[in-house]
Amino acid sequence: MAATDKTEGRPRRRTGNPARIHGTIAHDLGIAIVSGQYAPGETLPNEIDFSERLKVSRSAYREAVRILSAKGLVESRPKTGTRVTQPTRWNLLDPDVLAWYFASEPDPKLIDGLFELRMIIEPAAAALAAERREPHHLTIMREALMNMEKHTLNSEAGQSADRAFHDAVLDASCNMPLRSLASTIGAGVRWTTVYKARKDELPRDPMPDHWRVFDAIAAGGPEAARSAMAELVGAALRDTARALRRGQKQPETPDAG
Amino acid sequence: MAATDKTEGRPRRRTGNPARIHGTIAHDLGIAIVSGQYAPGETLPNEIDFSERLKVSRSAYREAVRILSAKGLVESRPKTGTRVTQPTRWNLLDPDVLAWYFASEPDPKLIDGLFELRMIIEPAAAALAAERREPHHLTIMREALMNMEKHTLNSEAGQSADRAFHDAVLDASCNMPLRSLASTIGAGVRWTTVYKARKDELPRDPMPDHWRVFDAIAAGGPEAARSAMAELVGAALRDTARALRRGQKQPETPDAG
DNA sequence: GTCAATGCATTTGTCCGAGTAAATGCGCCC
DNA sequence: GGGCGCATTTACTCGGACAAATGCATTGAC
């Protein structure tokens, strides 16, 4: 836990800063909603009852609802009440919403979907980055990869260096909407490494693939960058799929077959 | 105006429903922020003064700020106040934020970025759709295209049919994160058609391209669907670029060259 | 003279209670 | 039986008060 903080809807801040009530309520309620604890279409208890049950003032509760409403998770109207919207309306690309998905074990369909998105976005972004990268982008990438080598993906520092590298590639694409996908991609990267580590699955050294992407971007070769990044993400996908199979087998067949 | 409503931060609802104060404040402030009226890093007036100036209660103003905070536009802390965050932190993919961008004439860089994103996303989504589409997806697509033919892109109905078609393709990809990009793509589609119409630029009949995409998806041909969609988006891009050039020329050289 | 601890002022955060407006469902009237 | 007005439920808005947190200046010690 203790993620990157920044926006609304996180339980507590990086600096030991105590959480604000509306933030924690939004966080808890958000997790409850995306995990299906409140079904789509269901209306939650009215403001007065619910805020009393949560032991917070109505104002704080209402601000929490505003946060969830801003992210598309609920919709509130007079008389009808506040009800959970259909999942297709949720802002899945919102960093907080995605984080709430990953707070509990997320749906495998979502993991697959995120990998598909990465396979679409990241090679294209790498190609654009090869054409447009500025010197400072390369500096950030190089530093991230060196940190990755030093700390390895088993440490928190190594994982955040991995995310920093992918973020830098999206940054270097010089495309605002693409860069906005950084947090989404980052969540996928993070989950992948953590999950594989939990399954003791770290079969392939990720560094050569990463350096190939970096070299292609630095050399200004769009197609080389595209294929190198496709290879990198594809390898991560295959490793994760294997870890997923192991994870599913374990609870069913403890030691025999 | 009078967009699709649904989430928080819209000024008024589809059904003639009067706007809620916190929604209108968030809407107005959101537009002011994305249009640069409040510079990144700048802190807005404190809650009491600002809410008085806006002629609303502090509670309503605070709920508006919570909405903006949830979308990453502002960040508020005690003593420091509420300040506008750096644009890289904004949730550009949020439907409301994007709508606020388009409320005033948006930055051409953003338009280019959106087209690049569409050129990356939509062909890939079409390919996935060709593999996974269900009969009801095809029904929706066919109906959308028939409406498009009937009303043409000059009418509101025709434009929303266009959006409905692109939405249906993303739906048919059966990929949750991809589908979440529907509102973003839709905003791009909408802006494109409206802008071209304003410049009297409608040189190419869009229907054949659209039917080719549909046929490929219906036939289950991923690569055909991919290239057909790439052709469609590429044509829209070229037309829009031409309209942009005309739009820039007009104010400078009224009638001579 | 430098640095650390501390008190203070400012701003957001939280709480409470009351009253308003809107949307739904019911009963009434036509 | 269908359309219309009314009552009820719910979120929405308001105003005021207190608490908590934080940046800053002051003060003190070394």
Structure confidence at residue B241 (pLDDT): 84
Residue range A92-128, pLDDT digits in tens: 999 999 999 999 888 889 999 999 999 999 999 999 9
pLDDT of B254 higher than 70 = no
Chain D positions with any atom < 7 A from a protein CB? 8-17, 20-23
Nearest to A66 among B22, B90, B175 (CB): B22
Proximity of residue A12 CB to strand C below 7 A: no
For the segment A11-31, what is each residue's pLDDT rounded down to a tens digit?
554 444 668 999 999 999 999
Kindly state whether A121 is in contact with chain B, defined as any CB-CB distance less than 8 angstroms: yes
Least reliable range by pLDDT among A219-223, B112-116, B135-139: B112-116
Query: What's the whole-number average pLDDT of chain A?
Result: 89
Instruction: Give the model's pLDDT for residue B9.
Output: 66
Tell me if B93 and A6 make a contact (CB, 8 A cut-off).
no
Q: What is the pLDDT of residue A193?
A: 82
B69: nearest CA partner in chain A: A8
Rounded average pLDDT over B101-118? 91
Residue A10: which pLDDT band, with cuts at 50, 70 and 90? Answer: low
Mean pLDDT of A130-151: 97
Kindly list the residues from chain B whose CB atom is less than 8 angstroms away from the CB atom of residue A137. none
Quick one: pLDDT at residue B202? 65
Q: Is the CB of A17 under 7 A from strand D?
A: yes
Weakest mean pLDDT among B21-30, B192-201, B215-224: B192-201
| Phi and psi based region of residue B152 (left: phi greater than 0; alpha: psi -120 to 50; beta: remaining) | left
Contact B113 A67 (CB under 8 A): no
| Nucleic strand D near CB of residue B67 (< 7 Å) | no
**pLDDT at site B196:** 76
Return the percentage of chain B with pLDDT > 70, whole number: 88
Tell which of A71, A77, A132, A176 to mutate to test the B interface (max B CBs under 10 Å). A176
Better-scored residue on pLDDT, B27 or B104 = B27
Nearest to B116 among A59, A114, A175 (CB): A175
Q: What is the distance between the alpha carbons of residues B214 and B164, in angstroms, rounded to a whole number?
A: 13
Residue numbers in A 71-90, CB below 7 Å of strand D:
76-82
Q: What is the pLDDT of residue A110?
A: 93
Domain parsing of chain B, residue ranges: 1-104, 107-252
CB distance from B63 to chain A under 8 Å?
yes
**Pairwise CA distance, residues B95 & B140, whole Å:** 22
Q: Which of A53, A37, A33, A41 is nearest to A81 (CA)?
A: A41
What is B107-252's CATH number? 1.20.120.530
pLDDT score recorded for residue A137: 98
Nearest CA to B110 out of B131, B89, B92 is that of: B92
Cβ within 7 Å of strand C: which of A 166-195?
none
Q: Is B96 in contact with B9 (CB distance < 8 Å)?
A: yes
CA B35/CA B178 separation, integer angstroms: 28
Distance A77 CA to D4 C1' (A): 24
Instruction: Tell me what pLDDT residue B252 has.
Output: 47
Copy the structure tokens of residue A186.
């980052």
**Greater model confidence, B2 or A249:** A249
Size of interface A-B (CB pairs under 8 A): 129
The CATH architecture to which A105-252 belongs is: Up-down Bundle (1.20)
A109 part of contact set with chain B, CB < 8 Å: yes
CATH code for the part of the protein at A1-102: 1.10.10.10
Alpha helix stretches (DSSP H) within B106-206:
108-132, 135-151, 156-172, 176-180, 182-198
Contact at CB, A66 and B70, closer than 8 angstroms: yes
Are B27 and B10 within 8 A, CB to CB? yes
Contact list in A for residue B6 (CB cut-off 8 A) is 72, 75, 89
What pLDDT does B1 receive?
36
Q: Which CATH number fits domain B1-104: 3.40.50.620, 1.10.10.10, 3.90.1010.10, 3.40.50.261?
A: 1.10.10.10
Provide the pLDDT for residue A245.
80
Q: With contact defined as beta carbons under 8 Å apart, do A161 and A144 qualify?
A: yes
- Nearest nucleotide to A19, CA against C1' atoms: C13
DSSP code per residue over A56-72? S-HHHHHHHHHHHHHTT
Q: CA B154 to CA B151: how far, in whole Å?
A: 7
Taking CB atoms and an 8 Å limit, are B117 and A175 in contact across chains?
yes
Structure tokens at A228: 């190198």
Two domains, one topology: B1-104 and B107-252: no
Least Cα separation, residue B154 to chain A (angstroms): 28
The reported pLDDT for the residue numbered B93 is 95
Angstrom distance, A13 CA to C5 C1' = 25
**8 Å CB contact between A232 and A209:** yes
Model confidence at A254: pLDDT above 60: no
User: Model-level pTM?
Assistant: 0.90
Q: Is the CB of A250 under 7 A from strand D?
A: no
Rg, C-alpha atoms of chain B: 21
Alpha helices, DSSP H, located in A133-221: 135-151, 156-172, 176-180, 182-198, 207-219
Among A166, A152, A141, smallest CA distance to A205 is for A152
Q: Nucleotide D20: nearest residue by CA–C1'?
A: B78
Q: Flag if A88 and B179 touch (Cβ within 8 Å).
A: yes
Q: Evaluate if residue B257 carries a pLDDT over 70.
A: no
Q: What is the mean pLDDT of chain B?
A: 88
- The reported pLDDT for the residue numbered B188 is 83
Whole-number pLDDT of residue A203? 66
Strand C bases, protein C-beta under 7 A: 9-18, 21-24
pLDDT over 90 (residue A192): no
